[in-house]
Each structure stands twice: as structure tokens, then as C-alpha cells.
Structure 1
Amino acid sequence: MSCERKKMGSGCLKVTKYFLFLFNLLFLILGAVILGFGIWILADKTSFIAVLQMSSPSLKTGAYILIGVGALTMLMGFLGCLGAVNEIRCLLGLYFTCLMVILITQVAAGLVIYFQKETLKDELSHIVGTLIENYDPLNDDERNLQDAWDYVQTQIACCGWSGAKDWENNKVLINQSMTAYPCSCSNSSKDFQVDSGFCNLDVPVNGTATYADWPVHEQGCMDGVEEWLKDNLGVILGVCTGVAVIELLGMILSISLCKNIHSEDYTKVPKS
């Protein structure tokens, strides 16, 4: 009976070890995905992310946090694989502790984002309103930010934040008596070709116009942008949820393997 128990214990130890190795391999891959999301946010220059990134320091901070979490997650996956294969108790204990800290941090970050979503929405409205008001094709300092907003209006087929009326606050258009309009708002079909700057209306010399005279989309970008953010946020949250599940499984398997190693009096250290 004692031999059979030892064989069963040894078999359970091996199964736990290999399962932990596989979970940590997946953990390593998911960490790389989180790292990729952070790099994507910093590198993206052709979508609404660019508008937020250049106007809101908090998004850059969030991107760096994602990169840090992704890199740390990959490191933990590597340590978990190493500790499982070589059955090193101290490494497994360190791995368990780091996983617990990461999981608590992720839950805390998720709660902060959830309870601050209205503040984020207000900040977003302020950012876009300021961008539209100060939009100037001759201002090279804000060229990248303005091009990003032109891209958003073209791709979403919208104009302004709540509507085309928002552009009546633009200083350049006010000086031109509203006889021009943002080219990226045009409702003519151009196969999503992104135009920038202002286009002139066919009006008499010294004439005036209003936004109602512009050949632009009537819908504002707020609904489209919110939907875009929800779609992308869903992907990010889905990945983070997957990582959290793997973290919990990794914690359970690591502590189980650590106990089995202790009970079987395994104190292996890789020999050089």
C-alpha cells in the first residue's frame, strides 16, 4: 500500500507540475498580448487614441502601466515555468506572491476605471471641444492632433462632438463668416479618403452662412466614439479577464505543487 501511495503521490506531483507549466506558458503569451496593447496605444497615430493620447496625460500613463504589467506578467510566466520544471519551492513561493499582488492591482485598477467613467467622459468632451475651437490648418504644432481628429470624423462619418454646430465655435470659421466648413465632415462619398483643413462654400462675396448650409454629416461623433471605445475596451477587458483566470489557476497549482514538494521532501535546486 505504501508503494502505491508513493506512486500516486509522485503521479499527482508530475501532473500538477506539467499543468502548471502549460498554464504559465499561456500566461506568458497573454502577458505579451497586454504588452502589445500598451505599445499599440503609444504607437497609434491614426485613430481616436491619438487624440486622447496627445491631449490627456492619463492615457499615456495607462499605456505605460499596461506595458509594465505585460512585461511583469511575462516574467512571472517564465518564473512559473522554471519553478515548476525544476520543483524549486522558494521560486514557486515568490511566483505565488507576485501573482497575488498583480491580481489585486488589476482588480483595483478595474474598480477605479469603473467608478471614474463619468469623469473620463467629461474630460473627453472638454478635450474634443477645445480641439475643435482651436483647430487651425496653418498651425503646424498641432498638426498630428488635428489630422487624428480629421481621421475620426471621416471614418465614423460624423461632424463635431455633439453635432456640426460645435464647429461654429471655431475661431477660423468665425473670421470667415462660416463660409467654409471642415473638409473631413463632408458627406460626399470619397471612399474614406481623409481630407484635412477647411473647404469653401459657394456663396457670394462678403456673404455669410451657418452650419446648416454646410454639406456635412449631421450626426456628432460622440455616439460613434463611445461605441468605438466600448468595443476596444471590451477586447482589453476580455484579455485582462483571461489573464486573471490564468492567474488564479496558476496560484492554485503553484501552492499545490509547493505543498507536494514539501510533503515528499523534495528540495531540488538546479545543479550547475
Structure 2
Amino acid sequence: MSLACGSSCLKYLLFITNFIFFLIGLGTVGLGVWALVDDDKILILTEVGDAGNFDVVSLIRTGALVLIASGGLAVLIGFLGCCGAVKENNCLLFAYCAVMVAILFVQIAAVVIAAIFQNKVTDDLKAFLKSRLSAQYEGSIKTNDPFSLGLDVAQIQFDCCGIDNYMDFLSATRWQDRKNASTIIPLTCCNFINKDVYYTDYHSLDLEDPSCQNSPTDQNSNFRKGCWNAILEYANDKAIYIIAVGVAIGVVEVLCVVVAACLILAIRKTNEESS
């Protein structure tokens, strides 16, 4: 069976596109399997910095399983697309179209659900973070508590203080019990001369103003700037790139389905003409 020139071009276009999917999938699965089975390498990671205070192994293994699952899906898509195109097999191409359409529907549904429940999710998340701050935040730069460490990292990275502002720490029971009576804000709400060293050697941090914790101002601290709005602002600035990538992926998926459908029709027409 010989396809027309235009149909042959579609065939090779579909093959090349899905061969790339296949290779990416294999690489992703390989990376996931390596992270899952090479315990020695994973254990080395737990010795870096303060990582030993957290269950890094479980986190990496969970990520490895996600990589294997997503890579396996890419391998399946690539296999169906490549074999369907090379073999000019309508059954494989139908299966390929079905999988791609299913993925498109799931992606569209996820976007719709996210849009519908966005306000509720963000409100609930904000309330959850404030409750965790009240119950867990310790305010010690040497903390072993994951939430406290995470908030400190956010306050350093985004130049912010608390969820809404420094007033959130008035209800932080652990921090209130441990701090000095004159201390108003945690250390990580202050401005630093060299904040980047926090990630490698927090002992070397230098405050712009040593009196910051007791006498916070807009010049020596971020005590009025909440992390919630700071992170939302950062996310909104980056949203255009995320949307662009998502749209590009969606366009490629739609084009793959259209090309596969056109190839199915071309194969069927060729079969009818040769019979």
C-alpha cells in the first residue's frame, strides 16, 4: 500500500513527533527508576545542609514514581503514534487518537475546575497557613520544623513577613513563648546585607540594622509586607510563561490528533482504492 505524497508527509511528521515523545518518555522513566533504586545516591542528598532533618528520601521516591508514571504515559503515546504511522495501522492510530483526546479532556477539565474553585481554594489555603503559623511557627533560624523553615525561606526569598503582615505573629504561640519581651518580628522578616548565604551558611547572615527585630521600620524590615500577596504577585508575573507553555502543549496535542485523523482517512481511502 502506497500513500499519496501529502499523506506520506503526514505519516513521517507524526512519526517524528511521537518518536520525540517516546524518547522523552524513556528518559523520564529512566530518571525515575534511577532515583527510585539508587538508595546510596539518595542518602547522600540527605547529608547536604539541613536536609537530614526532613524525610528527603520519601520525597524523592514520591517524585520518582511521578516521573515513572508520566514518562510511561509519554512512552505509550509515542509508541502508538510511531507504530501506527510506520505500520499505517488504523487500529493503533485510533488508539493513539483516543489517548490524546482523553488527555486533552482531562487537561480542559482541570483548567475549568481550577477556575471555578480558585477563590475557595485560595481562601482555604490562606486560612490553613495562618492556622499553621499560629500553632507551629518557632521563629528560630535553626529550626527543625518543616513549616517554620518553609515560612522562613519564603520570608527571606520574597522579602516579606507573615501571611498578611507581622501582626500574624502575635498569635504564634511557640514563637511568643521563646522570644524576648522586646522582640516584635522574627529575624527572617528583617533586611539582610547578604541574604543569599541563608541557604548555605545562615550563621553568616548580616542584618542591615541590628535593632530590626525590636524596632522594625519600612527601611530595615519587611514587617508590613505579607508573604501571601508577595508570592501571588510573583506567581502572576510568571503566569504568562506557564500559560504560554500550556497553550503550546495543547496546540501540539490537537495538531497530533488532527494529523493522525487525516492519516487514518488517507489509509482508509488507499485501502478502498487498492481493493
TM-score, with length taken from structure 2 = 0.67
d(CA) in 2 for partners of 1:66 and 1:228? Answer: 27
1:23 and 2:23 are equivalent in the alignment: no
- Judging changes above 3 Å, is the alpha-carbon distance between structure 1 residues 112 and 165 closer, same or farther for their aligned structure 2 residues? same
Distance apart, 1:251 and its partner CA:
0.9
Check whether the contact 1:131–1:146 (CA below 8 A) recurs between aligned residues. Answer: no
Amino acid at match of 2:234: W
1:216 and 2:221 are equivalent in the alignment: yes
- Stretches of structure 2 that go unaligned for 5 or more consecutive residues are 33-45, 47-54, 56-61
Q: Does 1 or 2 have the higher relative contact order (CA < 8 Å, sep 6+)?
A: 1
Identical pairs, percent:
26
SS, match of residue 189 in structure 1: coil
Which residue of structure 2 aligns with residue 58 of structure 1? none
CA displacement 1:230-261 (0-9 Å, x = unmatched): 34554444333222111111111111111211
- Stretches of structure 1 that go unaligned for 5 or more consecutive residues are 1-5, 39-44, 46-53, 55-60, 203-208, 267-272
1:126 and 2:130 are equivalent in the alignment: no
Check whether the contact 2:25–2:72 (CA below 8 A) recurs between aligned residues. Answer: yes
- Judging changes above 3 Å, is the alpha-carbon distance between structure 1 residues 255 and 214 closer, same or farther for their aligned structure 2 residues? closer
- Judging changes above 3 Å, is the alpha-carbon distance between structure 1 residues 10 and 173 closer, same or farther for their aligned structure 2 residues? closer
Amino acid at match of 1:10: A
Moved over 6 A (4+): 29-35, 63-67, 209-214
Check whether the contact 1:160–1:167 (CA below 8 A) recurs between aligned residues. Answer: yes
1:108-123 equivalences under 5 Å are 108-123=109-124
Check whether the contact 2:84–2:90 (CA below 8 A) recurs between aligned residues. Answer: yes
Q: 1:254 aligns with which of 233, 252, 260?
A: 260
Amino acid at match of 1:165: M
d(CA) in 2 for partners of 1:126 and 1:33? Answer: 40
d(CA) in 2 for partners of 1:236 and 1:213? Answer: 33
d(CA) in 1 for partners of 2:248 and 2:258? Answer: 16
1:159 and 2:151 are equivalent in the alignment: no
Q: Between Structure 1 and Structure 2, how many residues are aligned?
A: 231
- Judging changes above 3 Å, is the alpha-carbon distance between structure 1 residues 248 and 240 closer, same or farther for their aligned structure 2 residues? same
Amino acid at match of 2:6: C
d(CA) in 2 for partners of 1:132 and 1:238? Answer: 35
- Judging changes above 3 Å, is the alpha-carbon distance between structure 1 residues 111 and 142 closer, same or farther for their aligned structure 2 residues? farther
Which residue of structure 2 aligns with residue 226 of structure 1? 232
Cα RMSD, aligned residues only: 4.1
- Judging changes above 3 Å, is the alpha-carbon distance between structure 1 residues 27 and 247 closer, same or farther for their aligned structure 2 residues? farther
Distance apart, 1:67 and its partner CA:
7.3
Which residue of structure 1 aligns with residue 249 of structure 2? 243
Check whether the contact 1:30–1:243 (CA below 8 A) recurs between aligned residues. Answer: no
- Judging changes above 3 Å, is the alpha-carbon distance between structure 1 residues 17 and 226 closer, same or farther for their aligned structure 2 residues? same
TM-score, with length taken from structure 1 = 0.68
Check whether the contact 2:104–2:250 (CA below 8 A) recurs between aligned residues. Answer: yes
Q: 1:168 aligns with which of 167, 170, 183?
A: 170
- Judging changes above 3 Å, is the alpha-carbon distance between structure 1 residues 67 and 149 closer, same or farther for their aligned structure 2 residues? farther
